[in-house]
Amino acid sequence: MTGFIAQLLNGLQYGLLLFLIGSGLTLIFGVMGVINLAHGSLFMIGAYLAYVVAGATGSFWIALPAAILGGAAFGAMLERVLFRHFRHREHLDQVLLTFALILLFEEGRSALIGNQFHSVPVPAALDFSVPVVGGFAYSAYRLAVLVICLLVAAAMVLVVERTRFGAAIRAAAEQPDMVDLLGLDARLIHTAVFAAGTALAMLAGALAAPLQSVQPGMGDGFLILSFIVVVIGGLGSVAGAFWAALLVGLIDTLGKVYLPQVAGIAVCGLMAAVLLWRPAGLFAKG
């Protein structure tokens, strides 16, 4: 039973990391209409950044703001230089552009840091277990990841639903022409959304670094799962991505423990079923 609770918490925590990646993906697609297959590589870059920063400064906590700020700057640069020009290109061009970025990011990582596996130690302040129920205790760092992800999710919902900037993002996603009519700068919105999406993916990578080995190609699995999250949640919907991420995180984690041979197939099958049954997403309104 305690084992099951641990897996449940692991599933939630995995799902929340998927939400950080998937929410950026869904916003970028919703607002810009661009498919970014390199989003998983951004997660990988975030994890390596955490490894480097934590190693150089001796503090893991500096790695988190570094991932957010570095991600925002990197994302803004990518949008200005490349993605801006691919908004109206065919899907094939977008797929291949972002596939090229995957190859270049992996090769860049290999050239700068190498191909070894690394581990990032759990920050000392959180290197203990918290008693949850009965005799069952759970890693404090994992709980902290849960809390941080929930705070980020709450902040995102607040920004998107309650602020003027959020209204502009929603307008850009639903009625692109209206943005110009309202006198808003659509290009600025695109840059901001892409920067935010990149920052979220890199933050997720940094948070995940102490939980798994930092290794080449570590974003690949996350990429497929976060695309599935986006489709199940409905393209462009942050709230949909949240519930879908929890669902996918739980199914994938519990599946890997209890039915390891079908876990990979189960999540893909779920996505196929959603696409055929409710193509606009499981959590779409109406």
User: Which residues sit at the interface with other proteins, rule CB under 8 A?
Assistant: 29, 35, 37, 86, 89-93, 95-97, 99-101, 103-104, 106-107, 110-111, 224, 227-228, 230-231, 235, 260-265, 268-269, 271-272, 275-276, 279
Pick the closer one to other proteins by CB: 29 or 141: 29
Pick the closer one to other proteins by CB: 37 or 251: 37
Check: CB of residue 221 under 8 Å from CB of residue 131.
no
The least distance separating other proteins from the CB of residue 197, rounded to whole angstroms, comes to 16
Pick the closer one to other proteins by CB: 31 or 271: 271
Pick the closer one to other proteins by CB: 6 or 263: 263
The least distance separating other proteins from the CB of residue 124, rounded to whole angstroms, comes to 36
Pick the closer one to other proteins by CB: 103 or 151: 103
The least distance separating other proteins from the CB of residue 106, rounded to whole angstroms, comes to 6
Q: Of 134, 120, 276, nearest to 207 (Cα)?
A: 120
Rounded Cα gap, residues 43 and 200, in angstroms: 9
The least distance separating other proteins from the CB of residue 231, rounded to whole angstroms, comes to 5
Tokens of 254: 């519990």
Check: CB of residue 247 under 8 Å from CB of residue 14.
no
The least distance separating other proteins from the CB of residue 104, rounded to whole angstroms, comes to 4
Tokens 């975030």: give the residue.
46
Query: C-alpha angle with apex 81: 80 to 86, nearest 5 degrees?
Result: 90
Tokens of 118: 């690394």
Tokens 């203990």: give the residue.
128
User: Residue 137: which H helix or E strand, with range?
Assistant: strand 136-139
